[in-house]
Amino acid sequence: SSMPMDEIYHAARVESDAQSYWDQHQSFAATEDPTREKYYCLSMFPYPSGKLHMGHVRNYTIGDVLSRFMRMQGKNVLQPMGWDAFGLPAENAAMANGVPPAKWTYDNIAYMKKQLQSLGFAIDWTRELATCRPDYYQWNQWLFLRMLEQGIAYKKAGTVNWDPVDQTVLANEQVIDGRGWRTGAIIEKREIPMYYFAITQYAEELLGDLAKLPDWPERVRTMQANWIGKSVGVRFAFRVNGVARSALGSPPSTSGRGNEGEDDEALLWVFTTRADTIMGVTFCAVAAEHPLATYAAKNNPQLAAFIDECKRGSVMEADIATMEEKGMSTGISVTHPLTGEKIPVWVGNYVLMGYGEGAVMAVPAHDDRDYWVAVKNHLPIKKVIRSDTEIYLESQLRDLESTPQDPELIDKRPLIESLRQDLETVRKKPCETERGVCINSGKYDGLNYTAAVDAIAADLNAKGLGEKKTMWRLRDWGISRQRYWGCPIPIIHCAHCGDVPVPDKDLPVVLPEDCVPDGSGNPLNKRADFVNCKCPKCGANAQRETDTMDTFVDSSWYYARFASGRGASAMVDRETDYWMPVDQYIGGIEHAILHLLYSRFWSKVMRDLKLVSYDEPFKRLLTQGMVLNEIFFRKPSSGRVQYFNPVDVELKLDDKGQRAGALLKSDGQAVESGGIGTMSKSKNNGIDPQQLIELYGADTARLFVMFAAPPEQTLEWSDTGVEGAARFLKRLWKLVHTHVGLGSAARVEVAVLNEAQRAMRRMLHETLAKVTDDYARRRTFNTAIASVMELINALYKFDDLSAQSRAVKQEALDDVVIMLAPIVPHISHELWKALGHDNAVIDARWPSVDDSALTRASIELVVQVNGKLRGRIEVALDAKSADIEAQALADANVQRFTAGKQIKKVIVVPGKLVNVVVT
């Protein structure tokens, strides 16, 4: 029943046929079906930058392979696609070309959609969305209003980069060396009102729920945990001697309860994770911006100058890291809350105003930074902790010294000596940051870390001067952007009523799509038709907010929208609960922190608003590796380095295949190699996927990308590797063509197969078992492809034309096509038909392994002598250990190595090897 088949593989014809079949049959439109197990496979949606790059091809191929595999396993698969369409590049393109960002974006979407379709991805295009469409972003606005009602969204002043020439706010990446990227003007910091999402309210849950994500890479979970940055400690206050509370204006934090009001002395609040060292405090340090520092500097020009220097200090993280600890006395003292001692207050350049209380207690004996400030300024150092290492070494030494030397055992004196030296080193350490047990601490002596912190916190609490407290590194999420191409924040400013939320009935606040930004300010401010409106409360003339939302807002919930019914009239509908959570999420590691954290936060907000029922949006995460390529350049004696694309470079090899040089094709002159790096515009080492598809076809591109490396690792581009992938597909085509050319094959009759046929069939089912495991559990598509290649190499050699051999070959080719179908779907579609099947290969079920085909009568065992391979023996599957042993010892080569030696023992590992141990 098979139809005639081309002798030669024409990728373009095969691919357009398969794609139009899927199109006509709406093969990938996914529908809710409670009777079937669902599988929601999502790849991070692209920013429509213009055209696909290799990273996209890799990302979406991984997702497509998993989707197609799961479909053949019988799951109800959803694989959607959309566009993260708001953002700064559209505004930049608009300035460069004078085109509105909307037009540029929609044109890019149209082109890139074509590209995605030409790669044959099994996408449900009926669910396509673009975040710049009002029917999507209206729900950003709607949820923003709900968050405002819940106190999860709020307004406060925030700092922005201000370009004084263009009169505009710049994103961090538009500030180069402290200057505006377009004007070169020195950038100022400005405080302006902005909206925030209180993600810190969810900090505890976002941290704790990482434990619910065992199928996320550990790396990503650690990065998120570090980013959230929980520290548990004690917040407490020192009384400031002789300074009235009113003198400090508004102290940074006086929210502490208790009897602090009984006098008018100001309080200096600090936070510490090492309350156990509180008896070792010899000074306090405050940030340059701290009110106490400002107060002290009033009549102290030297201090004022120092504070200025600290404030001017670089904010580059790398500089901060290498910066020297510096301090200067304020001349003010505080009272230690537990000992009543007078403690001097210093300004420290290492104290951050933005974290904790902007002030720290300083314990030079147990904190490195405090130590260096103390040493430089001759401040006292008081040791109050005996470290766990010191205690451990002491006990070891005591045990060794107290037991007599056993003459049978090795001499223990050298060990004692080395322990003594270690102990000496530990005791001499001027600054010990390790935890341990309190000493020189009065009533707290002998307490370990936990007990000491509890006791000290309780005593501080009794005096009304402190409590246990948890501090977070995570900050609330500022979402206001002073940019045009984003989702408008639905707020109206009224002179009488203040900031008024846009009523639900007036949503969406539609962004005009015909603006062309010119680089000076937000063009929305110049659009009277957008800005001018009526106050929803009092009806007076009012102005619309022109700030738009951070584009991370758009991408924080698109997965839930995909899962909703098409054109849902709410933010999400009940269909979401069928598909969500995403079973497999795939994307770049660069989103490990922000996007994934915001999405997790947003899901929890939606859950608390009873919109969805899941806690975590992404069950399983795969972070694909980068795509790399070699970098070629020339460095003229004067002028800039010139980079050349690898396609324009020819490699010279010596006769061992080793690199002898590289020449530019156009002029035949040498170029230098700059090693391997990520494909980038600046290094001119990118490969255009479009050219690849046109030259070899989508299947070759997909095969290469999946074969060259496992998905999580980096992938090195290789032209010859691509040719190898194309060669393999030609070989596959030829194998099937030759087979079907001989007419249809009989059914396999297991009972009559000869040894060679059984062996062929065994290999087939072993391969099937391995490939299934590689897809389903290991996600190592490269090894799955490698074992199918081995099978095909064996099938080429299995050229006996008897009826049963042809039957075995038919079974093998059927399964080969199925095993490759997720990776190279087009050629598989065609070959499946050619092999005589009436259905399409996408509707074929994944075959199960025939365990009876795996059995064998005898197996080969490896024989080792003292762990070295010396021979091989063939033994019956059920051979007894004693017989195996005898056979192994009888092997001629084994005897060469055992002759004249005494056999100590023989280890038989069933099914694997025999190891003969001789002396």
Which residues inside 587-606 make contact with RNA, applying CB under 7 A? 589, 593
**Helix or strand holding residue 241 (H, E):** strand 230-244
Considering beta carbons, is residue 378 or 797 the nearer one to RNA? 797
Of the residues 476, 870, 888, 891, which one makes contact with RNA according to CB under 7 A: 870
Q: Which of residues 828-867 bind RNA (CB under 7 A)?
A: 860, 862, 864, 866-867
Burial of 860 (0-12, 13-18, 19+ CB in 10 A): exposed
Of the residues 256, 464, 478, 724, which one makes contact with RNA according to CB under 7 A: 724
Of the residues 27, 552, 782, 850, which one makes contact with RNA according to CB under 7 A: 782
Tell me the angle at which helices 755-773 and 781-797 cross, rounded to the nearest 10 degrees. Answer: 170
Q: Which of residues 641-680 bind RNA (CB under 7 A)?
A: 653, 655-659
Considering beta carbons, is residue 531 or 594 the nearer one to RNA? 594
Edge-to-edge, what's the strand order for the sheet holding 188-197? 168-170, 153-163, 188-197, 477-478
Considering beta carbons, is residue 614 or 798 the nearer one to RNA? 798
Between the CA of residue 698 and those of 55, 83, 719, 729, 815, what are the distances in Å? Answer: 15, 22, 15, 12, 22
* Positions of E strands within 683-805: 715-716
Of the residues 15, 163, 357, 583, which one makes contact with RNA according to CB under 7 A: 357
Cα–Cα dist 243/335, whole Å: 12
Bridge-based pairing of strands 541-544 and 532-534 is: antiparallel
The conformation of residue 752, written as its DSSP 8-state character, comes to G
Q: Are 506 and 536 in contact (CB under 8 A)?
A: yes
CB of 793 to RNA, least distance (A): 6
Q: Which of residues 72-131 bind RNA (CB under 7 A)?
A: none
Q: Which of residues 227-266 bind RNA (CB under 7 A)?
A: 227, 229, 231, 233
> How many chain residues bind RNA (CB under 7 A)?
97
Considering beta carbons, is residue 869 or 876 the nearer one to RNA? 869
Question: End-to-end alpha-carbon separation of the chain, Å?
Answer: 68
Of the residues 783, 840, 844, 850, which one makes contact with RNA according to CB under 7 A: 783
CB of 359 to RNA, least distance (A): 7
From 168-176, 313-321, 454-462, 495-503, span contacting RNA (CB under 7 A):
313-321
Of the residues 3, 321, 751, 899, which one makes contact with RNA according to CB under 7 A: 321
CB of 347 to RNA, least distance (A): 12
Which of 513, 525, 514 is closest to 483 using CA atoms? 525
For the chain, helix, strand, coil in percent to 5 are 40, 20, 35
CB-based contacts of 3: which residues, under 8 Å, 6+ apart? 833, 834
Considering beta carbons, is residue 441 or 864 the nearer one to RNA? 864
Bridge-based pairing of strands 283-286 and 342-348 is: parallel
Tell me the angle at which helices 11-24 and 101-118 cross, rounded to the nearest 10 degrees. Answer: 110
Considering beta carbons, is residue 233 or 486 the nearer one to RNA? 233
**Binding to RNA by residue 293, rule CB under 7 A?**
no
Between the CA of residue 588 and those of 207, 213, 606, 686, 711, what are the distances in Å? Answer: 21, 18, 25, 17, 11
Tokens of 906: 């023989």
Q: Are 384 and 279 in contact (CB under 8 A)?
A: yes
Q: Are 485 and 87 in contact (CB under 8 A)?
A: yes
Cα–Cα dist 354/28, whole Å: 51
Q: Which residue has the tokens 């099994």?
A: 122
Considering beta carbons, is residue 326 or 833 the nearer one to RNA? 326
Which of 48, 162, 63, 55 is closest to 105 using CA atoms? 48
**Helix or strand holding residue 395 (H, E):** helix 388-402
Tokens of 807: 């039957």
Of the residues 204, 264, 723, 749, which one makes contact with RNA according to CB under 7 A: 723
Considering beta carbons, is residue 516 or 593 the nearer one to RNA? 593
**Binding to RNA by residue 877, rule CB under 7 A?**
no
Considering beta carbons, is residue 150 or 713 the nearer one to RNA? 713
Q: Which of residues 54-73 bind RNA (CB under 7 A)?
A: none
Between the CA of residue 544 and those of 190, 511, 903, what are the distances in Å? Answer: 21, 11, 92
Cα–Cα dist 815/821, whole Å: 10
Considering beta carbons, is residue 505 or 797 the nearer one to RNA? 797
**Binding to RNA by residue 713, rule CB under 7 A?**
yes
**Binding to RNA by residue 326, rule CB under 7 A?**
yes
CB of 351 to RNA, least distance (A): 4
Cα–Cα dist 621/899, whole Å: 57
Cα–Cα dist 144/556, whole Å: 13
Of the residues 516, 568, 789, 844, which one makes contact with RNA according to CB under 7 A: 789
Considering beta carbons, is residue 81 or 771 the nearer one to RNA? 771
Q: Which of residues 507-546 bind RNA (CB under 7 A)?
A: none
CB of 177 to RNA, least distance (A): 19
From 521-529, 632-640, 642-650, 702-710, span contacting RNA (CB under 7 A):
702-710
Q: Is the dihedral of CA 314, 320, 323, 327 positive or negative?
A: positive
CB of 808 to RNA, least distance (A): 19
CB of 27 to RNA, least distance (A): 30
Tokens of 267: 């309080």
Considering beta carbons, is residue 356 or 486 the nearer one to RNA? 356
CB-based contacts of 205: which residues, under 8 Å, 6+ apart? 604
**Binding to RNA by residue 14, rule CB under 7 A?**
no
Q: Which of residues 447-486 bind RNA (CB under 7 A)?
A: 471, 473
Q: Which of residues 886-915 bind RNA (CB under 7 A)?
A: 893, 897, 905, 907, 909, 912-913, 915
From 29-37, 58-66, 544-552, 721-729, span contacting RNA (CB under 7 A):
721-729
The conformation of residue 521, written as its DSSP 8-state character, comes to S
The half-sphere exposure of 289 on its side-chain side, counting CA atoms within 13 A, is 12
CB of 833 to RNA, least distance (A): 23
**Binding to RNA by residue 714, rule CB under 7 A?**
yes
Cα–Cα dist 345/286, whole Å: 7
From 120-128, 184-192, 255-263, 708-716, span contacting RNA (CB under 7 A):
708-716
Q: Which of residues 365-394 bind RNA (CB under 7 A)?
A: 367, 369
CB of 407 to RNA, least distance (A): 21
Q: Which of residues 211-230 bind RNA (CB under 7 A)?
A: 218-219, 222-223, 226-227, 229
Considering beta carbons, is residue 713 or 852 the nearer one to RNA? 713
Angle at 855 (CA atoms; ends 849, 859), nearest 5 degrees: 130
From 38-46, 352-360, 737-745, 878-886, span contacting RNA (CB under 7 A):
352-360
The conformation of residue 775, written as its DSSP 8-state character, comes to I
Cα–Cα dist 769/502, whole Å: 59
Amino acid at 316: M
Of the residues 172, 720, 855, 902, which one makes contact with RNA according to CB under 7 A: 720
Burial of 272 (0-12, 13-18, 19+ CB in 10 A): buried
Of the residues 728, 733, 775, 846, which one makes contact with RNA according to CB under 7 A: 728
Considering beta carbons, is residue 817 or 906 the nearer one to RNA? 906
CB of 773 to RNA, least distance (A): 6
Tokens of 319: 């500089």
Considering beta carbons, is residue 102 or 310 the nearer one to RNA? 310
Q: Are 496 and 488 in contact (CB under 8 A)?
A: no
Of the residues 15, 84, 91, 325, which one makes contact with RNA according to CB under 7 A: 325
> What is the SS3 assignment for 486?
coil
Considering beta carbons, is residue 530 or 728 the nearer one to RNA? 728
Considering beta carbons, is residue 117 or 680 the nearer one to RNA? 680
CB of 229 to RNA, least distance (A): 5
Considering beta carbons, is residue 227 or 552 the nearer one to RNA? 227
